Structure 1
Amino acid sequence: MFGIVRPCQHVMRKGLYADWMGHLCGLCLALRDEHGQLSRLVTNYDGLLVSVLTEAQSPASAPRRRAGACALRGFKGADVVEAEGVRLAASVSLLLAAGKMRDHVADGDGVYARRPVAAGATRLARRWSSAGTVTAATLGFDPAPLTEAARRQALLERGPASGSVATRGLPELTRPTEDAVAAAFAHTAVLTGKPHNQEALEAAGRGFGRLAHLIDAVEDLADDRASGAYNPLAATGTDLDEARRHCDAAHADLRAAVAELDLPQPGLTRALLVRETGRAVSRAFATAGTHGPGHSPGPEPGAPPGGLPPKRDPGGLLSLACAALTCCTCGLYRPAWDDDHESSFCRRCDCSGYDCCCDCGNCCSCGSGEDGCGCDCC
């Protein structure tokens, strides 16, 4: 899972995009240095938000170190974040990935139904869980909320503990994810010595966790229906219009919680947790074929600029090879059929007609009512 927060350098100030890359590369290298090359597979965009929040609450920027050349950076070096926040992000990523892998094995999803694959995945999940727990202990973070969330989620999806799954409401199904993210976000206040931020961080974590869970469900709905796999929207009889209302409410809660935080360096946090999450909602519902109530229809969902139809995933070995390359590059490489989809949301914008509060060159959200005019520096 690469995550729902996927900023684009075309709509983010150059300095903020470089900072985001510093956190992303810092997380990847922290996983490699402490847990081995294979653990870099759990690098994800949402996990590094823990590192971003830690730096945002500190009066000074997080320590950086010079990293060597990397193919993802055009074989150039870079200054990457090296701090406790990155290690916390690594721990959280490992624990959640381990729980997700165990869930796939238990459900027998795809290749996990094969005994050799299931046995290897179980061993790897055990290794990642142990590594994440050890790192968490060095940071004073109790991993129980994360491991417990994975167990609760599995029970909610499989077992009729209090009746059939269909009798459960959507908020009940998203609560384990909310609790896990809330715990991780709140611990950043402990690392930075800002206990007064904990309540707002927990609220932000719950909003983000709910949003991530819902967006994942929306994006997977069509495939899950076709394959008969579990999906919280289908299980609760939630249509896309209602799902959009839930997403908009979660985004509003998240935005309000971020506004309450005491952040000496708020730029990147607001850009990711306010603007980019809003873009993620629009992207998910455009792909799902709806813009929800109260939203202008716009162009054909998923269509790139110029009215050309999007390229389709060809399947087969080519699709598998591209998927592997996407994974190995942390999602920074995307094949043409993904690029066309992203291009409708990732492009330089025309700021004419907007009353921007600053001249930062990032006006895509101006006038949207989100976080002032929406510019990163506001």
Structure 2
Amino acid sequence: MFGYVRPSIRDLPEEELDRFRAMYCGLCHTLSRRYGQAARFILNYDFTYLAILLSDGTAGAQGAGRCYTSPIKKRPFLEPTAAMELAADESVILAYWQLRDGVEDHAWASGLKYRAGARLLESAYKRAAALRPEFDQAVRRQLQLLSALEQAKDPSMDKAADSFAVLLSSAAEELTDPVRKRIMEQLLYHLGRWIYLIDGADDLKKDAESGNYNPVALRYGLTDGTWTPESRRDFATTLDHSIHQMAAAFELWDFGVWTPVLQSTFYGGLFQVGKAVLDGSFHRPSRKNIREIEETE
């Protein structure tokens, strides 16, 4: 996952932001405890949302501690829960295969950072895959489908986005309540579709220069990575459809204390990110400081 999912800051009171930051830091501590310090570097906002969506609607116990980004001042964090451990395991699997995909997509020299990252995360991945074999198999299967589309230079944006959407929806596989599981699969499916499409839009110019497969560019014939007014409008409508589907699934379940953050995200934050990507003003905030969350307007 890529760091595009975030709340709309202006819509949230400070206490809700503090809870979100505590979950972010809690997932970071969970990754460290389960997989060592190196695993902390895969953390991003998207993985934090995975932990929130898999949680039981409560925040749980809170602690405070120092870390590499705050070695002097203690920061509050949520203590690990079963949902956070599941999210951490799935995050490691997703990050590892994302790195492996980067290795396949780049020449030897330009792919060095991906090789180094995959090698650094390999032992953590093996442990996570052993703990969550069904999820690992689902990720492998969907990435193979994506690879086949890429090899064929398939222009179907929907086929590619569906492959990643199915991949992310499988993160809900271990939920036991059948109603909740169905709702979460739908929400994660449309979230995965949106993430894949927004990432393709964000990479238009880079992929135009490198020649990498980009189904968004192929769908709209954007050979130079530049939107036409018509293609931009059509793509924005596609993005908005996925968000509306997410919101529809979200309304079917009680997410407890996380409801304000999720409302801010599904009804504000994702639209802001989409607008920023399409107008070229989007940037990913630093992972070093969760308090650098910024609005993308």
TM tier, shorter chain? 0.7 to 0.9
Q: How many residues align?
A: 287
Following TM superposition, by how much is the alpha carbon of 1:122 offset from its aligned partner in structure 2, in angstroms? 4.8
Deviations 1:187-210 (A, max 9, x none): 4x43xxx33111111111111001
Any idea what SS the aligned residue of 2:45 has? coil
Work out whether 1:126 is the aligned partner of 2:86: no
Bigger share in helix: 2
Structure 1 pair 118/71, CA: closer, same or farther in 2 (3 Å)?
A: closer
Deviations 1:196-245 (A, max 9, x none): 11111111111100111111111111222123222121123363332212
Among candidates 159, 164, 175, match of residue 172 of structure 1: 159
What residue is the counterpart of 2:97 in the other structure?
99
What residue is the counterpart of 2:138 in the other structure?
145
Following TM superposition, by how much is the alpha carbon of 1:63 offset from its aligned partner in structure 2, in angstroms? 3.0
- Contact kept, 8 Å, 1:26 with 1:82, in 2: the verdict is yes
Structure 1 pair 12/186, CA: closer, same or farther in 2 (3 Å)?
A: farther
Structure 1 pair 72/13, CA: closer, same or farther in 2 (3 Å)?
A: farther
Matched to 2:80, the amino acid is: E
Matched to 1:100, the amino acid is: Q
Among candidates 203, 221, 232, match of residue 240 of structure 1: 232
Any idea what SS the aligned residue of 1:261 has? coil
Following TM superposition, by how much is the alpha carbon of 1:10 offset from its aligned partner in structure 2, in angstroms? 4.3
Q: Provide TM-score, normalisation by structure 1.
A: 0.67
Q: Which has the higher contact order (CA 8 A, sep 6+)?
A: 2
Deviations 1:107-134 (A, max 9, x none): 22574445xx675455335324213213
Q: CA separation in 2, counterparts of 1:344 and 1:176?
A: 28
Q: What are the within-5 Å matches in structure 2 for residues 219-238 of structure 1? A: 219-237=202-220
- Contact kept, 8 Å, 2:5 with 2:270, in 1: the verdict is yes
- Contact kept, 8 Å, 1:5 with 1:46, in 2: the verdict is yes
Matched to 1:254, the amino acid is: M
Deviating more after overlay: 243-252 vs 7-16: 7-16
What residue is the counterpart of 1:357 in the other structure?
none
Work out whether 1:66 is the aligned partner of 2:58: no
Any idea what SS the aligned residue of 2:39 has? helix
CA RMSD of aligned residues (A): 3.0
- Contact kept, 8 Å, 2:7 with 2:262, in 1: the verdict is no
What residue is the counterpart of 2:77 in the other structure?
79
Work out whether 1:51 is the aligned partner of 2:51: yes
Structure 1 pair 156/129, CA: closer, same or farther in 2 (3 Å)?
A: farther
Unaligned ranges ≥5, structure 2: 222-230
Work out whether 1:277 is the aligned partner of 2:270: yes
What residue is the counterpart of 1:202 in the other structure?
185
Q: What are the within-5 Å matches in structure 2 for residues 150-169 of structure 1? A: 150-158=143-151, 160=152, 164-166=153-155, 169=156
Higher-Rg member (1/2): 1
- Contact kept, 8 Å, 2:272 with 2:296, in 1: the verdict is no
What residue is the counterpart of 1:108 in the other structure?
106
Deviations 1:229-269 (A, max 9, x none): 22121123363332212101111111111111243442233
Matched to 1:67, the amino acid is: G
Work out whether 1:181 is the aligned partner of 2:168: yes
- Contact kept, 8 Å, 2:38 with 2:121, in 1: the verdict is no
Unaligned ranges ≥5, structure 1: 288-301, 304-312, 314-322, 335-341, 346-378
Structure 1 pair 154/127, CA: closer, same or farther in 2 (3 Å)?
A: farther
Matched to 2:170, the amino acid is: A
What residue is the counterpart of 1:252 in the other structure?
244
Q: CA separation in 1, counterparts of 2:95 and 2:295?
A: 29
Following TM superposition, by how much is the alpha carbon of 1:68 offset from its aligned partner in structure 2, in angstroms? 3.0
Any idea what SS the aligned residue of 1:77 has? strand
- Contact kept, 8 Å, 1:67 with 1:80, in 2: the verdict is no
Structure 1 pair 145/330, CA: closer, same or farther in 2 (3 Å)?
A: farther
Q: CA separation in 2, counterparts of 1:31 and 1:40?
A: 6
Structure 1 pair 237/248, CA: closer, same or farther in 2 (3 Å)?
A: same
4+ runs of 1 displaced by more than 6 Å? none
Matched to 1:45, the amino acid is: Y
- Contact kept, 8 Å, 2:135 with 2:173, in 1: the verdict is no
Q: Provide TM-score, normalisation by structure 2.
A: 0.83
Identity %: 19
Q: CA separation in 2, counterparts of 1:8 and 1:111?
A: 38
Any idea what SS the aligned residue of 2:46 has? coil
What residue is the counterpart of 1:368 in the other structure?
none
Matched to 2:217, the amino acid is: A
